[in-house]
Structure 1
Amino acid sequence: MKNIKLYKSLEEFISSNQSSKKEYYLLVAENCEFDYKKLKETNISFYGAIVTQVIFNDSNYDNGLISCELEDEKINLIEDLENPQLKEKDYKDANSLMVLLDGLSSNISTFLDSLFNVLPLNVEILGGGAGKLTLKQEPVIFSNKGIYENAALTISKKSKLFIGVENGWEFLEGPFMVTSSNKNILKSLNFMDAFEVYKSVVEEDSGLKFNNAFETYKNVVEKESGKQITEDNFFDIAKSYPLGIVKFNKEIIVRDPIAKDEKGNMILVGDLEQNSTINILKGNKKSLIASSNNAIKKALESNTEKLEIKNVVLFDCISRCIFLEDDFKKELNEIKKQVNDETLFGALTLGEIANNGNEYINFYNKTCVVGVLC
């Protein structure tokens, strides 16, 4: 990728590139007046995604778009995440991979598992979930071929990519066992057997009643925040209190609660497997900002060969931006000051994607994922 530019509007992008023979990758902010039909009628070759906001250097924008001129990258459009039909030959030369997918799809884990199985060893992967803050699923992945929901774009590169992943969220309450869930719907945190002992301790100390997943989460957050959660303000409160999946290596993968369904179950961004162990987490602005600094440092330190840096890509969660408010500028500054004159670009997303070499591909929420492209 080269010649990365920020445009104020789709019209400005078309006017500047309508006679170009290049191929472009586009990140379009959700408030950009995006007329897909108008773009398709041009001679421009394009792939892209609609995201909540775009990032360019030390600023974020809810309008406009970013264009990246493609070089030797190979792009695959996956039209259906439930049946991705991926082929090893399409990724055989890849050393790094960027993924943009429908962040509100219920098939994200299915797709990422399928993708992992066709990739060569040691491929570094990063990406994020496309979609709008309306949290209503709609077509957000596009190319000259069409515009789709429940879809993805993968961008394969022969060049090196070095990744840093951090979230900065802190423990509040837990652990809890997920005893009933279905993809991104969390139904129950009730434990049986050995956990009943732990359950009784928590109830005695906090007065919580483990009725269902929403009530458990609601009680903890209301106790901590002093605020009453209703369906109308669920997301506004939940942005400060994500769930953290506890992995065997002690890594915490964050899940974002975004709503309650008609049955009282919690709707999350991303899947939560039954029998997972989770904690309820709490936001702290200082720790979140520091985590972004740690993420870019990890990425830079991974470049042990000191390869020339071409640019830096960031996928950061929109709910981190909402939580940090005006202080989100500090998060971007923490990253930008570490990369000198290299262009920093990316998106605020509904979920973030990263792996580490031969490890499985993880889908995160409320996390800062930064990649150094060399």
Structure 2
Amino acid sequence: MRQVYMDYNASTPLSTNVKTVLSYWMDRSYGNPSAGHWAGTEAKKAVEKARSRVADFIGAEPGEIVFTSGGTEGNNHVLKGIYELCGAKPCHIITTAVEHPAVMEPCRYLEKHGAVVTYVGTDSYGRVNPFDIEAAITKDTALISVMHANNETGTVQPIEEISAIARRFKVPFHTDASQSLGKIPVNVNDLGVDFLTIAGHKIYAPKGIGALYIRKTAALSPLLHGASHETGRRAGTENVLFTAALGEACADAASIDITEVQRLRNLFWELLQQNFPLRVHRNGHPVHTLPNTLHVRFTGITGQDLLQQMPFLAASTGAACHSGSVELSAALRALGLTEQEGAGAVRFSLGPYSTDEDVFAVIEALKQIL
């Protein structure tokens, strides 16, 4: 059968314009942006142009953008950088029970080094209550970190409401926007955040490039130490090739027709309900959700077995099955699903290259299996 890609939340293909930029800079990006000669000057111009494009995409100033190796580095930078600023003082961090491992694991690491972390729960849709965040704040709270949108269920968090609370208590606020960029509006001033994480491979740029927004009034210790790259905030010679690609990707993402992607997602859900009304259930928030994401669970079959019987389809499960036991993801556990319910979970995530034919192909295959 034709191959069908429905795993855009995991990674996206390179856009046509990004491929063009990569091809152009392949033979021109060898100069070190820190060098004073013509090759270095050309490379630096490419980096600064990309910085401006990323800033424009999220409503920031160019000087507030720091290029990173991806979302994981950005999240680690914020969490560990804030912890370093605490010094000998107690350090309390508030996050949620549905965060990506790129936030959860640094938090667990910091707990081993003396930080106190509060993991706020969610409702049955995976959405956090801002008042629960407020109730968790103490005099030692140094950071609040809440993802903009969940990578599995697609549930969008009330970032604006949480940021208002953070400002009232004068607590720095970070959001991981890796999953929301290019799908819903992301403006750092509208969201009211001090730090925001970007992952390039989620918005049609290569893997291995990302950016971190640091509000100009926010303090943050560097994660990497070395020379004075990125105005001393991130040591290491800039990846000119991928940085230029990220700038182009941000310009591309701003022009994506997300309403067409949402139409396909809705069509897919309607057909699933029509054909398997007793065997399919939707997870995540029905309204506050990413327009491209459909997270469902099937009864009577595990998501792992289902996808194994559909080798033409690229999609993701929400549970790992090992020797008869089921290990649910943090997002599924937060929804209150049982192991049996969670075992049948599958995340379908669509993008601008998805088609009606893709949806119909998957539905026909599911008819044969279910």
Could you tell me the TM-score, scaled by structure 1's length?
0.22
More strand by share: 1
Could you tell me the TM-score, scaled by structure 2's length?
0.23
More helix by share: 2
